[in-house]
Amino acid sequence: MRDILALLEGRKVAVAGTVEKFSTMRGYAGRHDRLMCVQNLGTAEGEPLTDHLWVRVGRRLKALDLRKGDRVAFTATVERYSRAAGGEDFGLVRPYQCRVLERAALPEPPEPLPVVVITPAETLPYSQARELLLARIGVLQAETGTAPSLPRLSRRMAMPARLLLTTLHQLARDGQILFTPNGTVMTASQEGIYA
């Protein structure tokens, strides 16, 4: 039992302490109440009250956007309550005049990871990409009986988008593939089939 709080039962007390952690508990009608553990709780004059105390986080405390390590002050009523494990203790209820005395320092952000850029030349040579792309266009055309669309071809290719588009552009410049107005891609040998 908290002896000093027992002497203050039913009175309003201005207190200050450090937020240690947050938790939840099942409250009235099955709702989950948010709680915060306040350590080194003392009066506004600096007299220690208790080493720690759990307080419900109502709208006033929630508005402060508290985090672990913040030093907080508020006024609350000392009330007796029944512990879940049995017995009685004293706690603080209905906090008001809530304010942050000192914000906890934010942790330093982690060092950024180095960026590794893989260029298309490092992943697949143009000649291999060209052969693979022409073969895939033929396979997709054989599967559906129509020329594949550019999005469908892109989804079925296992190569970076930049390499795919560069290779398609080169093949079109060389006259080996054609782009149709409806967004399909066909090899030049298939042109007569769809003309």
* For the chain, domain boundaries: 3-102, 120-194
What's the half-sphere exposure (Cβ side, CA atoms, 13 Å) at 102?
A: 7
C-alpha span between 102 and 143 (Å, rounded): 67
Q: 120-194: which CATH number, 1.10.10.10, 2.102.10.10, 3.30.230.10, 3.30.565.10?
A: 1.10.10.10
Q: What pLDDT shows up at residue 175? A: 85
78 Cβ neighbours under 8 A, 6+ residues apart: 5, 8, 9, 10, 11, 12, 13, 90, 91, 92
So what's the architecture of 3-102 in CATH? Beta Barrel (2.40)
Q: What is the pLDDT of residue 156?
A: 81
- CA-nearest of 89, 34, 91 to 63 is 34
pTM over 0.85: no
How far apart CA 129 and CA 3 sit, in angstroms, is 79
Could you tell me the pLDDT band of residue 115, with boundaries at 50, 70 and 90? low
pLDDT value at residue 193: 45
Q: Which two tokens stand for residue 100?
A: 């942050």
State mean pLDDT over 149-178.
84
Residues 52-86 as b/e (b if ≥16 CB within 10 A, e otherwise) read: ebebbbeeebeebebeeebbbbbebbbeeeeeeee
Asked if residue 20 has pLDDT above 80, the reply is yes
The sign of the torsion formed by the CA atoms of 154, 159, 160, 164 equals negative
Please state, rounded to an integer, the average pLDDT across all residues of the chain: 82
